[in-house]
């Protein structure tokens, strides 16, 4: 398996799915496996993050991308038209 540590290494469809996952973590289901995973990623030390990345590299990558965006990812959600930003008039 090829390691992908750059956001641009993922296809648009993969990126959008991951952005949806992180959106639902922030605004939706807090009890899903993916939501718990994002919470673990958020709270992990650099050493543990490296271990988590071995099994969930795409989730760690979208979390990093989300952190880099202004206003905790709203720009990312708008760019991919996810959640409340899915409407064209937003």
Domain enclosing residue 78, as ranges? 12-85
Q: Is residue 63 part of a domain?
A: yes
The domain total for the chain is 1
**Which positions ≥6 away from 43 have C-beta within 8 Å?**
none
Residue 90 has pLDDT above 60, yes or no: no
Q: Is residue 6 part of a domain?
A: no
Q: Is residue 46 part of a domain?
A: yes
Q: Is residue 7 part of a domain?
A: no
pLDDT tens sequence across 33-79: 999 999 999 999 999 999 999 999 999 999 998 888 766 678 888 88
Q: Is residue 5 part of a domain?
A: no
pTM: 0.82
Q: Is residue 79 part of a domain?
A: yes
C-alpha span between 16 and 11 (Å, rounded): 9
pLDDT tens sequence across 4-21: 668 888 899 999 999 999
CB 9 within 8 A of CB 65: no
Q: Is residue 1 part of a domain?
A: no
Cβ-in-10-Å burial (0-12, 13-18, 19+) of 56 comes to middle
């Amino acid at each position: 398996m090829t390691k992908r540590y750059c956001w641009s290494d993922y296809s648009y469809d993969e990126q959008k799915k991951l952005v949806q996952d992180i959106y639902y973590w922030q605004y939706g289901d807090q009890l899903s496996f993916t939501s718990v995973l994002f919470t673990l990623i958020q709270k992990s030390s650099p050493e543990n993050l490296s271990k988590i990345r071995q099994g969930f590299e795409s989730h760690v990558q979208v979390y990093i991308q989300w952190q880099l965006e202004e206003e905790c990812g709203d720009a990312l959600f708008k760019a991919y038209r996810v959640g409340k930003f899915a409407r064209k008039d937003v």
